[in-house]
Structure 1
Amino acid sequence: MKGKMFLAILLSLLLAVVGLVGCSSEDVSNNVADEGLQESSGIDREQYLNLVLEAEPTTLDPSKGSDMYSNRVLNNVLEPLTRLEEDENQSNYLAAAGAESWEHNEDGTVWTFKIRPNKWSDGVPVRAQDYEYGIKRSVAQETASPYAYLLEPIKNASKVNSGELSIDELGVRSLDDETLEITLEAPTPYFLALTYQRVMMPQREDVVALHGDSYGTQIDKIVYNGPFVLGTWVHNSELILNKNHNYWDAETVSLDNVNLKIIQDENAVYNSLSNGSIDIAIANNPDWRQRFINNDKLNHFEVVRPSTFFMFFNTRDDVFQNVNIRKAFSIGLDREEMANVIFHGVNTPAYGWVAPSITIGDDEYRSLVPGPVKRIAEENDPKELLIKGLQELGRSTDPADLTIKVTLGSTDQWFRNYGEYIQQMYNRNLGVNVEIEQVEWPVFSQMASRGEVQIGYMGWGAEFNDPASLMSLMTSTSTAIETGWSDERYDELIALAASEMDPAKRLEYFREAEEILLYEASVLVPTVHPRINIFRYKYVNDIGVTPLGTSGYKYGYTQGR
């Protein structure tokens, strides 16, 4: 995702098209620089893509951003140490990127990365110190990075992030311009998966110092070392990526331009795909989905996302400080009905936090651990739980006297329909009154981070294939999802799982932690796990569909537009 990822925004956020596959033949990689080879290979002379970005990126500061939209851009304009690429069978594999090689000591606690020759977009050489600075800035307390929790396996990261130790004590150092050394607290089974996350991307200290708080907010307030540079950014309208000719692997990049149009309205996206003004889109609406399936100009891919849509409570709120009221609102939702009515039968009901398709060892986690929310519903009546909670708070026990507010991070019609549906369901199942507040995503993100919502609604996609990617979001050191809740035993379990190499033991740690989160405390309300239908014009090649892939648009090309 991975991914945060964001905060990540509910439906549209998690339906982003991600990942690019590696080129299947070397001649395609070399065709861009040679028009004669372009003609002989048959690929189009003009290489561009028109794609959709569902909302404005909050920032392109890799340490401070948390939404999927900025992450999609960052995967293309910055070069992480590694990338998770996709083969012809839609299987992911780890590939060298900013680091051309790496090795570790016997127990896997010290990793050494050889940084390959590369240049920033202003011609300055990329150095190991740039990766060191980027990681340290993400961990530093003053940065307040929402994804800092991902880096806790690094030696002293937690204490640095809490202010107990100085940044110099972090287990990251450049041995010279080409060598980066990272020391871990303990062997970490998913450490390499962190090396392609935004919080480990390189940053130039001089550029950050020059622009201060405005770093990453405009195209001229960041430098780039990835396959593309950001050439145009018309806020709330369009971003245009241009090929980066300073990039170390520029010969592999076929696309000259990638136009990311910010389109929030679902029907506008469908019409744009239908008339050919965009090249790829998600279509889960039954009527449009069938129409696109019948279109012989389009390829169709159905993908299970390792993501969860969810509601979250502000546990400092006068009402939702009570666990029985939280439980009542959790099981007051009919997830089966929601999946069928709101999500057209495409998505699946969610009774756990960890999403399907996420594995632990060789097994899918969700196949081994039943969702804890279902047990709450089996043991309790939602209205009785609500009344019990109201009694404990000394409030009126008539549900009709209770009015709560649900805040949604979009103002479009889909969310308006969703809000009305939530109102009706809670009124029917709990007898309460529900106000719906709709704000734009950046405003919602700020409100949520300040604890200014009673109930919020979002979606979150796993950043990497491990339960830790989602479970770590709710530790007391994470600021990813602001609920005001923390639990020492939960923190302990996530820390144990992070340093345990035995999958069976890790499974038990995660099982207990998820029980605390969803059954005992009921802090989150998972609603559905998404499936998506991707439609792509057949002239588009090497645009992958794996949800965790991070190749960006590096390998894409068109043939026969």
Structure 2
Amino acid sequence: MKQRKYPLFLALLLSLSMLLAACSEDKENEKKNHILNVTETQDIPSMDSVLATDAVSFNVLNNTMEGLYRLGESDKVVEGIAKGEPRVSEDGKTWTFALRDAKWSNGDPVTAHDFVFAWRKALNPKTAAEYAYIMYDLQHAKAVNEGRKSPEELGVKALDDKTLEVKLEHAVPYFKQLVTFGTFLPQNEKFVTEQGEKFGLEADTTLYNGPFTLAQWKHEDKFNMEKNPQYWDADTVKLEQIHTKIVKDTQTDVNLFERGVVDQIKLSSEFVDKYKGEKGFFTMKESSIFFLRFNQTKNDLLKNADARKAIAMAINKKGMADVLLNNGSVAANYFVPKELGIGPNGKDFRETSGEFLTTNIKEAKKHWKAAKKALGRDTFTLELLNYDDDSAKKSGEFIKWELEKKLPGLMVNIKQQPFKQKLDLEKKMDYDMSLSGWGADYLDPMTYLDVFVTDGAHNQQGFSNAKYDQLIQEAKTTLLLQPEKRWRAMMKAEKILLEDEAAIAPLYQRSRAFLKNSKLEGVLFHKVGADQSYKWAEFKE
């Protein structure tokens, strides 16, 4: 009798083992379906929202932090820490925001005082925040930033823990969208003070109030985010973790994707044709403009307008976009991108503002000859500051080849630097030319044009034009409620920047080609502010 029981026992044991294995596999699959694996070409320069200036930092901040509002689908403003619509005074200068019950990742409540502290910190001249100027619509902001008034005189006040009052210098119709930008994020004063100079430099020296927290940050290697259980809208967040590996080479990206190690990657030109028929292939048109900065303080050649025009007009921008990039990017004969702002006439800014510095080899040679004559020299050497990722390297080599071929006597030496170091060299103005990019912070041409006002924090190249400054100042103040005149002022400013001065050389408006896991849905791509939002992302069968 006992011998007959053994086969039955073994059969039951085998069935139980198979059931446990199946359950284990289901749990593993469920776990994988809540972990997003992606790559980034660069490390995070800073997690201090008032010091951040770059796309990588703002992207991580966007997913780990939250301001009064955030951007949702199609870049529409959706609720964040603020509940409902703000109350706006009749003259448009006083905005009052009611705040919801929200918490920081350490359990502290998010209050109106956190916004007051962060905004005062951003404008305090001791902070030296490069993006302080984006807050100049706030009452007394410019005076505070220039040290003429104390931070306590800034037009922002906590009426109580859950009510924030903001006073503006002028009525700003787009102010609600403006506060979705990273510089307007709150900070917990007690935590920031405790961390001191370490704040924002490591995962555990930063506090979070957004959909995710930065759980691990191994510099120049990887950074991982985890779902924030303290987030007020945590039920909406489906992903449990987001793992980001820093990968500078596209071939490595492709290999990781093919092996199923990562769920979404960017493709460089040589891989686009191979994968564009795949189910997971897609392209995204962005508002980012890539251009050459000309430092007018360091190299005599670049102080010469004819030399700048020669360089700007010598590069085959269409070839660069169509062949070298091959990802939907288009040649840019402008600085304000297409599809950014609709004017009072109902037309896109680009439709009415025209094109400048188009590729024209004959004109380039003419300006080059004039520059040589004015400087009394035939040979020149310029250093091109560049990023160190795979795509940027190819762009740098293309620019060097184009300029040396078409402008006789010019030699271009490329200096490739990691992202953070490159930004630092630009800030110190320790370069000749630099391959740079600028993305929109809000949906208005001003987010591009005010970059190059005299001594602007992001000017970083010594450009100065009094008429340009006047037009920008008027468009940001007295003309805000006169849309037709404001639009014309901005168009005149762009013409001065490009056609008259050639202060920069626009190259292309970027699109990017991606491959993604076909089950991945809900990742939002933005034309303004941060590149992506993962709050609504999930894997679907």
Q: Structure 2 length normalisation: TM-score?
A: 0.89
Pairing of 1:55-454 with structure 2 (within 5 A): 55-86=42-73, 91-101=74-84, 102-285=86-269, 288-296=271-279, 298=280, 300-317=281-298, 318-344=300-326, 346-361=328-343, 362-374=346-358, 377=360, 381-393=363-375, 395-396=376-377, 398=378, 401-410=379-388, 412-431=389-408, 432-454=410-432
Deviation at 1:415, TM superposition (A): 3.4
Distance in 2 of aligned mates of 1:377 and 1:501: 39
Measured after TM superposition, the shift of residue 316 of structure 1 is 0.6
The structure where helix makes up a greater share of residues is 2
1:540 alignment partner, one of 497, 520, 535? 520
Distance (Å, rounded) in 2 between the aligned partners of 1:281 and 1:93: 25
Judge conservation of contact 2:439–2:529 (CA < 8 Å) in 1: no
Deviation at 1:179, TM superposition (A): 0.8
Shift in Å, 1:544: 2.1
- Given that 1:131 and 1:200 are in contact with CA atoms closer than 8 Å, whether structure 2 keeps it comes out as yes
Q: Residues 60 and 154 (structure 1 numbering): CA distance in 2 closer, same or farther, change over 3 Å?
A: same
> Quick check: 1:360–1:503 contact (8 Å CA) kept in 2?
no
SS in 2 for 1:534: strand
Q: Distance in 2 between matches of 1:43 and 1:294?
A: 29
1:30 corresponds to: none
Do the aligned residues in 2 keep the contact of 1:471 with 1:494 (CA within 8 Å)?
yes
1:368 positional shift: 1.4
Structure 1 residues 481-492: aligned runs within 5 Å: 481-492=459-470
Query: Which secondary structure state, in structure 1, belongs to the residue aligned with residue 265 of structure 2?
Result: strand
Measured after TM superposition, the shift of residue 301 of structure 1 is 3.1
1:497 partnered with 2:441: no
Residues 353 and 491 in structure 2, CA contact (< 8 A), matched pair in contact too:
yes
**Structure 2 SS opposite 1:56:** coil
Query: TM-score when scaled to structure 1?
Result: 0.86
Code of the aligned partner of 1:430? L
Give the deviation of 1:188 after TM superposition. Answer: 1.2
Q: 1:360 to 1:189 in 2, by over 3 A?
A: farther
User: Is the Cα–Cα contact under 8 Å of residues 520 and 539 in structure 2 kept in the other structure?
Assistant: yes
Please list every run of 5 or more consecutive structure 1 residues that lacks an aligned counterpart in the other structure: 1-38
User: Once the two structures are superposed, what CA deviation does each residue of 1:198-242 show, in whole Å capped at 9, x if it has no partner?
Assistant: 110001222222223321000121111111111110111111111
Return the index of the structure with the highest Cα Rg: 2
Aligned equivalents of 1:340, 1:557: Cα separation in 2: 33
RMSD of aligned Cα (Å):
2.1
The one-letter amino acid of 2:533's match is: G
| Greater relative contact order structure (CA < 8 Å, 6+ sep) | 1
Alignment check: 8 A CA contact 1:360 1:507 kept:
no
Instruction: Pick the aligned partner of 1:524 from 485, 495, 504.
Output: 504
SS of structure 1 residue aligned to 2:169: coil
Task: Give distance in 1, aligned partners of 2:251 and 2:235.
Answer: 38
Deviates more, 1:540-549 or 1:234-243: 540-549
User: Could you tell me how far apart the structure 2 residues matched to 1:292 and 1:128 are?
Assistant: 49
Corresponding residue SS for 2:243? strand
- For 2:159, give the aligned amino acid: L
Seen in structure 2, the aligned counterparts of structure 1 residues 46 and 350 have a Cα distance that, compared at 3 Å, is: closer
Query: What's the % identity of the aligned pairs?
Result: 28
Contact 2:269 2:324 in 1 (8 A): no
Q: 1:176 to 1:76 in 2, by over 3 A?
A: same
Size of the alignment, in residue pairs?
506
TM-fit CA distance, 1:549? 7.1
**1:356-408 Cα shifts (integer Å, max 9, x gaps):** 1111333211111112223x959x72233223223333x31x2xx21111111
Which residue of the partner structure matches residue 8 of structure 1? Answer: none
The 2-side partners of 1:406 and 1:540 are apart by 39
User: Hey, what's the Cα distance between the residues in 2 that align with 1:279 and 1:470?
Assistant: 33
Q: Unaligned regions of 5+ residues in structure 2, if any?
A: 1-25
Cα 1:295–1:338 change in 2 (3 A) is closer
Counterpart position of 2:13: none
